[in-house]
Amino acid sequence: MQKSQKMNIIIIEDEKPAARLLQRKVEHLGFKITKMLHSVEESIAWFSANPHPDLIFLDIQLSDGLSFEIFEKIKIQSAIIFTTAYDEYALRAFKLNSIDYLLKPIDEDELKVAIDKFQIQLSRKEPLSLNFEQIRSMFAPTEKVYKSRFTVKIGLQLKIINIDEIECFFSENKGTYIHTFDNRNYLIDTALEILEDELNAKKWFRISRKFLIPIASVKEIVVYSNSRLKIILPTYKEEEVIVSREKVVEFKNWMA
């Protein structure tokens, strides 16, 4: 092993065997690891009480969250080399914002290149430009996919009902039903509470404990007694469709 060079380096990695392996590779190149941290919470506590290092080897996904959460609490004053097992689709952000990134399993030659790159930048006293918000956005959850069809059983057959065929959902006698624009009812196994989370809230609204309706079904709105609203749907006529009093303001905002 080469003689240790003076540089304050830490590793933030939740998998301890991976952290120890990276430590051995860094120290084989002649550098000493001064600290290893293993979670967002531990890192925030450590940075709050200690001088910041020259360089951080930072895993993206830690056991208690994304490592970017550290930067929401602490203004990091260190250079960063990201270590990640993510596919390359997200890595263009690192090219723009970090010293470098290393794909796991980490190759020692690539590790040496990354450290050399940092040392050159350090010797030139070049300012570090790290846009953590841009990098975080690369790993944000993708847009939620909402339910677009339902399967209902009719006798021994199964029928597919697309979401744009549904005039409303309603509950009756502890059951949940689909009511379609062709004026038919179908029993389903899903409660309205679960449907609320499965449907796009921009298009669907739970107007009461009994009804969940899409904006496309609102044919007419009538002022009803006790500060409530009555909704006229295209075909559903089995009973009055009423917006409960506590939902009226929220419903008006949703319609707007």
Residue 194: enclosing H or E segment and its boundaries? Answer: helix 192-198
Maximal CA-CA distance, the chain: 85
The vertex-159 CA angle with 188 and 157, nearest 5°, equals 100
Domains in the chain (CATH in brackets) are 5-138 (3.40.50.2300), 149-255 (2.40.50.1020)
**Residue 222 Cα to chain centre, angstroms:** 39
3-state secondary structure of 195: helix
Structural contact between residues 98 and 81, judged by C-beta atoms closer than 8 angstroms: yes
The residue count of the chain comes to: 256
Gap between the Cα atoms of 66 and 60, Å rounded: 6
Alpha helices for 74-139 (secondary structure H): 92-97, 108-123, 132-138
Whole-prediction pTM: 0.51
Residue 158: how many CB atoms within 10 A of its CB?
Answer: 9
Question: Could you tell me if 130 and 80 are in contact, meaning their C-beta atoms sit under 8 angstroms apart?
Answer: yes
Predicted pLDDT at 96: 45
Q: For the beta carbon of residue 118, count every other beta carbon within 10 angstroms.
A: 21
DSSP tag of 202: T
Helix (H) or strand (E) holding 16: helix 16-28
Indicate the pairing of strand 149-154 with strand 157-162: antiparallel
Give the pLDDT score at 25: 94
Strand partners, 122: none
Q: What is the pLDDT of residue 95?
A: 52
Burial class of residue 246 (count of CB atoms within 10 Å of its CB; 0-12, 13-18, 19+): exposed
Residue 50 is classified by DSSP as S
pLDDT in the model for residue 65: 83
Q: Going residue by residue through the chain (256 aa), what tens digit of pLDDT does each one get? A: 455 567 899 999 998 889 999 999 999 999 999 999 999 999 999 999 999 999 999 988 888 888 888 888 888 878 888 887 765 545 554 554 455 678 788 888 989 988 988 888 777 766 555 556 656 665 555 567 788 999 999 988 999 999 999 999 999 998 999 999 999 999 999 999 999 989 999 999 999 999 999 999 999 999 998 889 999 999 999 999 999 999 999 999 999 8
